[in-house]
Amino acid sequence: MNGFKKFLMQGNVIDLAVAVVIGAAFNSIVQSFVADLLTPLISAFGGLPDFSSLKVTVGQSNFMYGNFLNAVISFLMIAAVIYFLVVRPYTHLKERAAGRIESTTRDCPECLSEIPKAASRCAFCSAEVAPA
């Protein structure tokens, strides 16, 4: 029982639980954005936003391919929303923050080991290097 308690109190389990709850809450926001804003906008230009009535009848069987088409279009719209409203801005901010962090090291011209910029001698190969 002690091991189970230790497992539950690990940071990874708690982080995962928080991520699932936040993901579920974010899912409802994205679903609403797609259903309430994007789908009507697309139907205004292209017409017919709901394909669930589309079907093919072969013999006595009805193949409701419209529901599958709705699911595919919904998935693509949700993926586009996530990419353009979350992934791209986050990546852009991350790259800007990384650009501001100035490197304090450089490569030794002799052995290509990483040395401090102010070093006059390489700690790995003892070669003399000009301070940067």
**Answer CATH for 2-101 from 3.90.1660.10, 1.10.1200.120, 2.40.30.210, 1.10.10.10:** 1.10.1200.120
- Rounded Cα distance between 67 and 38, Å, is 18
Instruction: Report the predicted TM-score, pTM, of the whole model to 2 decimal places.
Output: 0.54
Q: What is the DSSP letter of 114?
A: E
Tens of pLDDT, residues 27-85: 888 888 888 887 777 777 777 667 778 889 999 998 888 888 888 888 888 888 889 98
Quick one: tokens of 45?
């230009």
- Rounded Cα distance between 122 and 109, Å, is 9
Identity (one letter) of the amino acid at 115?
I
Q: Residue 19: which residues within 8 A CB-CB, separation 6 or more?
A: none
